[in-house]
A and B are shown apart, each in its own frame.
Chain A
Amino acid sequence: MATIYSEQTPRAVSPSQTDDTVAHNAGAPGSEGFALPSWLPWLGGRVLSGLATAFVISVLVFAATQALPSDPARVILGPDATEDSIRVLQQQLGLDQPILVQYGRWAARAMTGEFGVSLDSNVPAGQIVADRFGNSAALMAIVLVLAVPIAFLGGVALAIRRDSRIDSWTMNAVILFKALPGFVLAIGLILLFSTTVFPILPAVSLIDPAISPFLQPLYLVLPALTLILTVAPFLLRLVRSAMIETLEADYVAAARLRGIPERRVVWGHAVPNALVPVIQGIALTSRMLLGGGLIVEVVFSYPGIGNALNAAIELRDVPVIQVITLTMAVGVVFINLLADVATVLVTPKLRTSSRPRLRAGTRAKLKLKAGGV
């Protein structure tokens, strides 16, 4: 009975339709599996727009650090430096040249991964970031690997039990954790787990740089827990509202009326259609992790790029500031690109059209909806 009306096997029901969409990729090998995907031109355009964004970001970073009315040489040397030493440093940094020449040189060097020498420690700035980046990436990976499945399963479960007691209690807890700023949460956890109540975990992450951070899990627990507690509520809420919206759609009601088991309705019909906001939400999450990670890394003295940026800003170490902000912002652009590609791939309507149009501002809207930072 069910198979006659089921939308589970559209290919078998209408093979001619799927063929139509693939057929216009002329010149592709005959087998369907090897046909060039029709969204490839869109991907090219999207990559170009991402590159343009990265270019504007590099201009912004350069402008903020070298072209603002404040003189970097004066900022670096402090208020009571002599005019001579300022002039020497200006020459060293190339600040006596016109601003466009400065940007051209800086960008050309940046393209080759050469960002100049840290003013503080005489180590190449790129080297500092490379050393610290692994630690931050490890922390982010742990947070995402734990937070995304928890939030996803929890969100689906809560959407099914909408308005039950568990749901309302969890939503209250979500608001609580969403409201607390990251450092409040971090110090609260330190008070709870490393000083007064249960003194079991280290308050400071003294990670040995020679060994992979994954092998020193004790130092990762508190920073990761703080970030999970800031990120998971946001995602959980996103999944829950997306699922509630989908579960109220007509096709879900139709599937239920056809007598399809509830489990299959939820996981086979509703979840795939609730994936888009979740993917964009994960992209937003990684942006939150980069910003929120800075404060958490500072609180726990975790040797990541956030902590390095904080130290560099305190010392006015311009090359390090430039390379870290640039890495973070370009990283966000790249993650957004990946999220857009994933969105196109999971949405059949977008995947098969030759000109997929993501609704503009999906991310901005999600950000408003979930109230993230």
Chain B
Amino acid sequence: MSSGLSTLRRGPQARLGFAFAATVLVVALLGPLAAPQSPLGLVGPTYGLPGEGTLLGYDYLGRDVWSRLLHGGRSVLWMSFAASVIALAAGAVIGIAAGLSKRWIDHAVVWGTDVLLAFPDLILVLLVVSMLGREPWLIVLTVAISFVPGVIRLARGVTLGVVSQEYVEAAKLMGYPWWRIVLLEILPNISTPLLVHLGIMLTWAIGMLSGLSFLGYGVAPPAADWGLMINENRAGLMIQPWAVLAPIAMIGVFALGTNLLAESVSRAGSRIAVRKGVKSRARTLMRGNKRRLRESQS
């Protein structure tokens, strides 16, 4: 994986993605400290344009858009991280268990994921959120549930690939308890695809959670949130475009950055990145070095 990390650092795509994502992260985490106004205070005219004392103008109630922008990132951040991590943990446990257990349990789990995969993700989340209310932890949990089938499939697949390897057989023959085999033999060997998938899920979660709060099912109204800001100020798009444009840019840049990062990580994780030409050139170089070494020794 170290070679993967070094190629990652060199790739322009990964660098750009890191720059984008890190910028948005910093704004979202440290922004509230730098905000000039309260995000809830009515401090200016309705749909006031950018001018003196205000960087991005005022929104539909006369609140400062710049201050709301700085305050509005935390919710989507922690919610998407929490949803992806919960989905990864739950899905990995179920998937590994399915991969190791008897045939009919395995079949039942796979069929169950099939059923859940038939729901469009957003519809499933909307269904639950609309009936149970919109507490943040509930939204996080439902988004996580909608991601779990994919993780189960992935974890089960890679577990099946690892279980038949000799080192797992050897560990079984040595009489190790099952939890030791799972934790020390199987888990380290399937962690790379699972972590890559965590990145991909993070990008999905950002899209879905910002979409939810755009539809009005996320954070409750007076609070500042990027998706909610877009929804609130959509009617004034012609008069004060900045109130919509700024949060859209933040969501877009964050989604793009995490996507670029996830893309390059997954490419570094799989072996597609090593192209034949590169490999053979490295081999030729190595042979040349060896020959030179031998000649110098003789």
Partner of A290, one of B123, B128, B252, B263: B123
Q: Which residue of A lies closest to B153 (CB)?
A: A364
Task: Report how far A290 CA is from B118 CA in the complex, Å.
Answer: 11
Task: Report how far A235 CA is from B245 CA in the complex, Å.
Answer: 29
Partner of B248, one of A60, A187, A295: A187
Given A181-B255, A187-B244, A295-B214, A328 contacting B120 (CB threshold 8 A) = yes
* Pairwise interchain contact A361-B157, C-beta atoms closer than 8 A: yes
Per-residue CB contact flags for chain A residues 269-299 toward chain B (1 = under 8 Å, else 0) read: 0000000000000000001101110110010
Q: Which residue of B lies closest to A179 (CB)?
A: B259
Q: Which residue of B lies closest to A244 (CB)?
A: B272
Partner of B131, one of A75, A184, A336, A364: A75
* Pairwise interchain contact A195-B241, C-beta atoms closer than 8 A: yes
* Pairwise interchain contact B237-A191, C-beta atoms closer than 8 A: yes
Per-residue CB contact flags for chain B residues 96-128 toward chain A (1 = under 8 Å, else 0) read: 000000000000001101110111111100111
* Pairwise interchain contact B120-A290, C-beta atoms closer than 8 A: yes
Partner of A313, one of B113, B130, B200, B252: B130
Looking at A63-71, A128-136, A209-217, A349-357, the stretch in contact with chain B turns out to be: A63-71
Interface hits, A49-77 → B, CB 8 Å? 49, 53, 56-57, 60-61, 64-65, 68-70, 72, 75
Interface hits, A156-194 → B, CB 8 Å? 175-176, 178-184, 187-188, 190-191
| Cβ of A325 under 8 Å from chain B | yes
* Chain A residues whose C-beta falls within 8 Å of the C-beta of B260 in the assembled complex: 175, 179
Given A179-B203, A183-B214, A57 contacting B115 (CB threshold 8 A) = yes
B14 to chain A, nearest CB (A): 12
Interface size class, chain A: 35 or more
Task: Report how far A310 CA is from B127 CA in the complex, Å.
Answer: 10
* Pairwise interchain contact A321-B204, C-beta atoms closer than 8 A: no
* Chain B residues whose C-beta falls within 8 Å of the C-beta of A184 in the assembled complex: 210, 248, 251-252, 255
* Chain B residues whose C-beta falls within 8 Å of the C-beta of A313 in the assembled complex: 126, 130, 217
| Cβ of B65 under 8 Å from chain A | no
Task: Report how far A295 CA is from B128 CA in the complex, Å.
Answer: 17
* Pairwise interchain contact A309-B123, C-beta atoms closer than 8 A: yes
Given A191-B241, A364-B153, A179 contacting B118 (CB threshold 8 A) = no
Interface hits, B122-174 → A, CB 8 Å? 122-123, 126-128, 130-133, 149-150, 153-154, 157
Q: Which residue of B lies closest to A176 (CB)?
A: B256
Given A316-B130, A371-B203, A329 contacting B211 (CB threshold 8 A) = no
| Cβ of B230 under 8 Å from chain A | yes
Task: Report how far A175 CA is from B230 CA in the complex, Å.
Answer: 23
Given A175-B260, A188-B248, A181 contacting B118 (CB threshold 8 A) = no
Given A70-B132, A184-B255, A364 contacting B248 (CB threshold 8 A) = no
* Pairwise interchain contact A180-B256, C-beta atoms closer than 8 A: yes
Per-residue CB contact flags for chain B residues 236-276 toward chain A (1 = under 8 Å, else 0) read: 01100100110010011001101110110000000000000
* Pairwise interchain contact B133-A328, C-beta atoms closer than 8 A: no
| Cβ of B4 under 8 Å from chain A | no
* Chain A residues whose C-beta falls within 8 Å of the C-beta of B215 in the assembled complex: 295, 298, 310
* Pairwise interchain contact B241-A181, C-beta atoms closer than 8 A: no
Q: Which residue of A lies closest to B262 (CB)?
A: A371
Given A53-B114, A68-B131, A187-B230, A329 contacting B123 (CB threshold 8 A) = yes
Given A182-B211, A187-B248, A295-B214, A53 contacting B118 (CB threshold 8 A) = yes
Partner of A295, one of B122, B245, B259: B122
* Chain A residues whose C-beta falls within 8 Å of the C-beta of B117 in the assembled complex: 363-364
Task: Report how far A22 CA is from B262 CA in the complex, Å.
Answer: 48
Given A309-B126, A313-B126, A368-B200, A333 contacting B118 (CB threshold 8 A) = yes
* Chain A residues whose C-beta falls within 8 Å of the C-beta of B241 in the assembled complex: 191, 195-196
* Pairwise interchain contact B153-A361, C-beta atoms closer than 8 A: yes
Per-residue CB contact flags for chain A residues 325-364 toward chain B (1 = under 8 Å, else 0) read: 1001100110010000000000000000000000011011
* Pairwise interchain contact B127-A364, C-beta atoms closer than 8 A: no
* Pairwise interchain contact B251-A181, C-beta atoms closer than 8 A: yes
Q: 4 smallest A-B Cβ distances: which pairs? A: A291-B120, A179-B259, A181-B207, A313-B130
Write 21 A-B pairs (CB below 8 A) sorted by A numbering: A53-B118, A57-B118, A72-B131, A176-B256, A183-B214, A184-B248, A187-B234, A187-B244, A191-B245, A291-B120, A294-B123, A310-B126, A313-B130, A328-B120, A329-B123, A361-B153, A365-B153, A365-B157, A371-B204, A371-B263, A373-B122
Question: Knowing that A188-B248, A329-B118 are A-B contacts, what are 15 other residue pairs whose CB atoms are under 8 Å apart, sorted by A's residue number?
Answer: A60-B115, A61-B127, A64-B127, A70-B133, A179-B259, A181-B208, A183-B230, A187-B248, A190-B237, A287-B120, A290-B123, A291-B123, A310-B126, A328-B123, A365-B157
